[in-house]
Structure 1
């Protein structure tokens, strides 16, 4: 019963978004509220339990036996709130103008060069293993440039997240840690098995980014062989558009101060010396007092930036309602067990790649721990009966990470979709259209190395 409710909740959520029947925050909040209430009635729980599940999903839950705290989305929501505010402020004062001008001059309006640069920067930044940080940095560096050059913002979104899905599988990444712990395999040994696939997938992502760049060239009729495609006058017009935007807010004399402030904050963030929410909260306060010491000016900036901050932040909090109800009601666990039971065991030694493909939707829609400690841990024992080792089962459980970065339970993706002006389901479709070869790459490479027996 719970597995059917869980599946229905996910499907209703997807349909409501794809047909634009509900706004994303409303869908994330009211759909699980309805299905959570039904789950309470069906299982004999008190209806008020729904509020407890939501509290756990949004804020935190304390394990009564171990005392361990499992945080909800309040931390990433706060990080997103202040990070959007801070980088909007830095855009206002012109911190990223030199970056935009550099790429405009070097790319000379060439979409291919801009898109390849995006993929390269996202790949490097994502090595820290933090999705939110990578998205924030890449949006700040490239969003204005894409808009200036007339490039599609959905391209920016999918080119940013594709490398994140690869490098989240480093030893300090959440999926790899969860897989190793759930299947009781050595973390570093698992990473060694994954590394050939990750490196090959990175090459594939760059090739796909190159193809997207060629498509964008054709769409805006850019001819790299013609010096007339983007002449000096047009480039100068692009540069002026950057320089002349909100000139009253620009603070060129404070450029180095703002740069050092930003680099210092990002260093704390990347080295994990302080929580992102705390870092960006303090950065925002410092940036306001440095750049807008007048109280009225500072107040005006807060009010002007609020429309950028509010939609993404409340969508993130809505994601906490969705994941809290899905997990707390038992729907996540029941759905995990149902998916595990649906995978045929009669395929023998071929079960590993079959499991890798069939488990991919679960990786996308279930909370990460629900998948690895539910489905993956259960199926590891089943596959062992057919000669598939726990290590090979762990590798199979990582293949679906190729699509993890289109999951509706990742809060930072709502920031990405908001900043790139697109519906979440449209973002999912565009990513699937272009980056499905990453999943195939994993299957082929792991098959050739023996990490995933065929």
Structure 2
């Protein structure tokens, strides 16, 4: 009964945001509240919601200061040379722009963090998309697809969680997945080619020097806003590089790193109090929207976990697998990882569901290392999940509708997962 309630709730939630009957912010709060009342959990709502809010509080804090930090970097002009360089290469060709999006997002995603990937990619390329009249949904789609594949790196999170949950060596899990990731990257580039070709056909190639055009625009913006700090580019570049290195090495918790970096950036670039207010005010809308979405997702996950809907949903999916299909458990795990990682955060999936699957698979002679690899193959779909903070950051920064983004990316993300599953089967990373 609880399982059915959970699946119905997820279906209603997805329907409401995809059809734009309700904003993601409201749906994340209203839908679980309604279903909690239907399920008879009204008296427990307080503790469940507070638990959910507590769990996302560090993420909300981190994203708030991350948005403000990179907002300062944008205002100070840190990314102006990067944008100009990209423009000089693409020569106003939408196809090259989309390829550049895939490559830039993939390179930045080497740090394994979706927040950093999206902030840097969107900050650098959104002005270019606007200048060329390109569809920003392509920017969000290709950026997310690149991150979805690169997130399989051992330090990205899912691989380490899968190995830890099943007490496996990370290298045993990851190394056979390298060809699988390469297959996923090829699919992402293929998607970029298809989407870029369509934009080139729609818009044509602009035969102008966009780097000069943008440079003039940046100079005009600098004079108008008086916020550009070209003499501090070296400092901002070092600070940003140091921040990214610290993120990768895990020197301090992410919220702490961004709080420190934000403070230094604001103090050095804009010591004047009136200018500080102007800079912070110009990014207030983005901060409020993103942080509100994060805490709304805390309400959703708190109710989903507190009512045990997520546990029952996972158990139901496992229970419906016929015994004669037991030998295909690795493939089944890969396929079911798509919906499961969409409706669940990584921690409950890898530490709660995957061990159950692995234990069941052992009865059919399937090694747990294959289950670990299979469980990671749904990451491109997981990256789309409304329960992931960086997803809301991406659509918020690009100023696109969450439902429109979901409808646009779904078939391409499913394609990524399909290609990776096929490559995994062909290379023996998982077996039939």
TM-score using structure 2 length: 0.93
Of the three residues 141, 144, 162, the one matched with 2:124 is 141
Cα pair distance change 1:148/1:35, threshold 3 Å: same
Match of residue 99 from structure 2: 116
Of the three residues 213, 220, 239, the one matched with 1:237 is 213
Residue 48 of structure 1 deviates from its aligned partner by 4.2
CA contact (8 A) 2:62 2:254 kept: yes
Residue 319 of structure 1 deviates from its aligned partner by 0.9
C-alpha separation in 1, matches of 2:323 and 2:357: 10
Match of residue 74 from structure 1: 57
Structure 2 counterparts to residues 346-357 of structure 1, below 5 A: 346-357=324-335
Would you say 1:58 and 2:53 are equivalent positions? Answer: yes
Would you say 1:277 and 2:272 are equivalent positions? Answer: no
C-alpha separation in 2, matches of 1:173 and 1:287: 27
Superposition CA RMSD, Å? 2.1
Match of residue 186 from structure 2: 203
Structure 2 counterparts to residues 65-214 of structure 1, below 5 A: 72-214=55-197
| SS at 1:343 equivalent | coil
Unmatched segments (≥5 aa) in structure 1 = 60-71, 223-228
1:191-230 per-position Cα deviation (integer Å, ceiling 9, x unaligned): 12222211222222222222222222112122xxxxxx41
1:209-257 per-position Cα deviation (integer Å, ceiling 9, x unaligned): 22222222112122xxxxxx4134x654343223322522222233323
Moved more, 325-334 or 194-203: 194-203
Moved more, 318-327 or 199-208: 199-208
Match of residue 253 from structure 1: 231
Unmatched segments (≥5 aa) in structure 2 = none
Match of residue 36 from structure 2: 36
Cα pair distance change 1:36/1:342, threshold 3 Å: same
| SS at 1:170 equivalent | coil
Would you say 1:20 and 2:20 are equivalent positions? Answer: yes
TM-score using structure 1 length: 0.89
Moved more, 294-303 or 367-376: 367-376
| SS at 1:244 equivalent | helix
C-alpha separation in 2, matches of 1:296 and 1:396: 54
Cα pair distance change 1:253/1:393, threshold 3 Å: closer
| SS at 1:73 equivalent | helix
C-alpha separation in 2, matches of 1:380 and 1:82: 39
CA contact (8 A) 1:86 1:280 kept: yes
Cα pair distance change 1:259/1:369, threshold 3 Å: closer
Residue 358 of structure 1 deviates from its aligned partner by 3.2
1:381-440 per-position Cα deviation (integer Å, ceiling 9, x unaligned): 333333322222222222222311111111110010111222223222222222332222
Residue 312 of structure 1 deviates from its aligned partner by 0.9
C-alpha separation in 2, matches of 1:294 and 1:185: 53
Of the three residues 219, 242, 248, the one matched with 1:264 is 242
How many residue pairs match? The answer is 430
Of the three residues 298, 315, 329, the one matched with 1:337 is 315
CA contact (8 A) 2:93 2:204 kept: no
1:355-388 per-position Cα deviation (integer Å, ceiling 9, x unaligned): 4223421121122233233432223233333332
C-alpha separation in 2, matches of 1:397 and 1:235: 44
Residue 330 of structure 1 deviates from its aligned partner by 0.8
C-alpha separation in 2, matches of 1:436 and 1:357: 10
Moved more, 4-13 or 265-274: 265-274
Would you tell me which structure has more helix in proportion to its own residues? 2
Of the three residues 336, 346, 349, the one matched with 1:358 is 336
C-alpha separation in 1, matches of 2:157 and 2:61: 20
Residue 157 of structure 1 deviates from its aligned partner by 1.0
CA contact (8 A) 2:337 2:376 kept: no
Cα pair distance change 1:133/1:237, threshold 3 Å: closer
C-alpha separation in 2, matches of 1:352 and 1:269: 33
CA contact (8 A) 1:392 1:451 kept: yes
